[in-house]
C-alpha cells in the first residue's frame, strides 16, 4: 500500500472498507430492508445520515489506530475502554466474529446447495482453502481481493438499479406499520457495522501513510456505500409487498431478470461473503497473534478456520441472533466512545 500513489492508496482503503461492511446481509437485501427500506420515505433521510456516519466513524477508527499504532482491535478496544472493560469487550467481539464467520461459511454452502442442488461440503472446503491462502498473505492480499470484488459489486448494483428503473420508473416510498424510531436507525446501522469492521479498519489505519489518505479512503467508502444503499433501497421499495418477510429479498427481484443476472447475483453474494470472511479471519488472527505471539500466524489461521468450519456444520445462527442485542449495545457504546477520544 505504501508504494502506490496517493489516489490509489485512498481507493484501496475505500474499497477494503466497503468490502468489510457489505456481507451477505447487505447483498441479500435483508439488512437494508430492516434498517432502511421499511421506513418508506424516511429512508431518503436515513441513507445520507448512514453515509455521513460511516465516513466520520471510519475516518476516526483508522486515524486513532494510526495514532496509537494498534496492531489489532484487541489494543484498540483497550484504548477505548481501558484494560478491565476492554478485556470483556474483546471477548464478546471475538466470540461474535467467530460465530458470524462460521454462519457465513454455512451461507457459502447454502448458496451452492440452492443454485447447484448440492456441493454443500465441497463449497465450504473450497471457501476455507481460499480464505486461508488470502489471509496467510496478509494485508496486501486482503486489499487485492477487495479491489476486484467491490467494483464488480458496484457495477452489478448499478445494472440492477438501471434495469429496475427502465422497467418500472420512479418509486413511491411506502412505510410499513410500526416504523417509529426511524431517526435511531442510521446510528444503529453505522455503529453495528463500524464495530464489526474494527477487525480490518484498525490494521488498515495503522499501515496508512498519512491522515489525508485515511480521510480520502473513508470518503470514497462512504460515497460507495451510500450509492449501494440508495440503489438497493430503490429496488427493494418497488417490490415491497413481494419481499416483506422474505429471507433473501433481493433474490426474488433478480430472478425476474433472467437466469444470467440471477447467476451473477449469486456470484456477487459469494464475493461479498468471501470478502467479509477474509476480513473477519484476518482481524481475528491479528487479535490472537497479539495475545499469543509465540504461535505462528499460519497456525492461528488454521485453528480459527477449523473452529469456524465446526460452527458452520452445527449452525450457530440462533445463538448469534440472541447475542445481537448484547453486541448491538456494545456497538453503540463503542461508536460513541470513538468520538470521546481525540485524534
Q: Domain map of the chain by residue range?
A: 6-338
Q: Is residue 62 predicted with pLDDT exceeding 80?
A: yes
Q: Is residue 103 predicted with pLDDT exceeding 70?
A: yes
Residue 326 confidence class, pLDDT cut points 50, 70, 90: confident
Q: Is residue 315 predicted with pLDDT exceeding 60?
A: no
Count of residues making up the chain: 343
Question: Using CA atoms in the order 32, 286, 71, 7, what is the torsion angle rounded to 10 degrees?
Answer: -50
Count of Cβ atoms closer than 10 Å to residue 138 Cβ: 15
* Architecture of the 6-338 domain: Orthogonal Bundle (1.10)
CB–CB of 139/146 below 8 Å?
no
pTM for the complete prediction?
0.89
State the sign of the Cα–Cα–Cα–Cα dihedral 144, 26, 338, 316.
negative
**pLDDT score recorded for residue 201:** 94
Q: Is residue 238 predicted with pLDDT exceeding 90?
A: no
Lowest mean pLDDT among 1-10, 75-84, 86-95, 263-272: 1-10
Count of Cβ atoms closer than 10 Å to residue 129 Cβ: 11
Q: Is residue 87 predicted with pLDDT exceeding 60?
A: yes
Give residue-wise pLDDT tens across range 142-162.
Answer: 999 999 999 998 898 888 888
**pLDDT score recorded for residue 105:** 84
Residue 190 confidence class, pLDDT cut points 50, 70, 90: very high
Q: Name the burial class of residue 39, with classes exposed (0-12), middle (13-18) and buried (19+) by CB atoms within 10 angstroms of its CB.
A: buried
Q: Is residue 317 predicted with pLDDT exceeding 70?
A: no
**pLDDT score recorded for residue 321:** 60
How many whole angstroms separate alpha carbon 175 and alpha carbon 172? Answer: 10
Residue 76 confidence class, pLDDT cut points 50, 70, 90: very high
Residues 252-264 have a mean pLDDT of 83
Helices 43-68/211-238 angle, 10° precision: 150
**pLDDT score recorded for residue 318:** 57
Q: Which residues contact 298 (CB under 8 A, 6 or more apart)?
A: 136
Average pLDDT, the chain: 85
Amino acid at each position: 500500500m505504501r508504494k502506490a500513489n496517493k489516489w490509489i492508496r485512498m481507493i484501496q482503503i475505500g474499497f477494503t472498507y466497503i468490502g468489510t461492511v457489505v456481507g451477505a446481509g447487505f447483498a441479500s437485501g435483508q439488512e437494508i430492508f430492516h434498517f432502511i427500506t421499511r421506513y418508506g420515505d424516511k429512508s431518503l433521510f436515513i441513507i445520507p445520515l448512514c453515509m455521513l456516519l460511516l465516513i466520520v466513524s471510519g475516518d476516526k477508527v483508522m486515524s486513532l489506530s494510526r495514532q496509537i499504532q494498534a496492531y489489532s482491535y484487541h489494543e484498540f478496544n483497550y484504548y477505548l475502554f481501558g484494560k478491565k472493560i476492554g478485556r470483556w469487550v474483546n471477548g464478546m467481539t471475538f466470540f461474535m466474529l467467530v460465530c458470524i464467520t462460521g454462519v457465513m461459511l454455512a451461507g457459502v454452502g447454502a448458496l451452492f446447495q440452492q443454485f447447484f442442488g448440492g456441493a454443500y461440503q465441497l463449497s465450504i472446503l473450497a471457501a476455507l482453502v481460499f480464505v486461508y491462502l488470502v489471509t496467510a498473505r496478509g494485508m496486501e492480499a486482503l486489499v487485492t481481493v477487495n479491489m476486484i470484488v467491490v467494483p464488480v459489486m458496484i457495477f452489478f448494483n448499478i445494472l440492477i438499479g438501471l434495469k429496475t428503473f427502465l422497467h418500472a420508473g420512479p418509486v413511491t416510498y411506502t412505510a410499513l406499520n410500526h416504523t417509529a424510531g426511524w431517526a435511531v436507525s442510521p446510528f444503529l446501522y453505522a455503529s453495528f457495522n463500524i464495530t464489526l469492521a474494527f477487525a480490518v479498519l484498525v490494521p488498515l489505519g495503522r499501515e496508512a501513510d498519512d491522515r489525508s489518505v485515511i480521510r480520502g479512503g473513508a470518503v470514497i467508502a462512504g460515497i460507495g456505500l451510500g450509492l449501494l444503499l440508495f440503489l438497493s433501497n430503490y429496488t427493494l421499495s418497488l417490490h415491497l409487498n413481494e419481499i416483506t418477510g422474505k429471507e433473501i429479498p433481493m433474490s426474488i427481484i433478480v430472478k425476474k431478470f433472467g437466469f444470467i443476472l440471477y447467476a451473477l447475483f449469486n456470484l456477487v453474494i459469494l464475493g461479498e461473503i468471501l470478502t467479509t470472511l477474509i476480513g473477519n479471519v484476518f482481524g481475528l488472527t491479528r487479535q490472537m497473534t497479539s495475545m499469543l505471539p509465540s504461535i505462528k500466524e499460519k497456525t492461528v489461521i488454521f485453528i480459527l478456520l477449523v473452529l469456524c468450519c465446526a460452527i458452520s456444520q452445527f449452525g450457530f445462527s440462533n445463538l448469534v441472533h440472541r447475542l445481537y442485542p448484547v453486541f448491538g449495545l456494545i456497538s453503540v457504546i463503542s461508536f460513541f466512545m470513538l468520538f470521546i477520544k481525540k485524534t
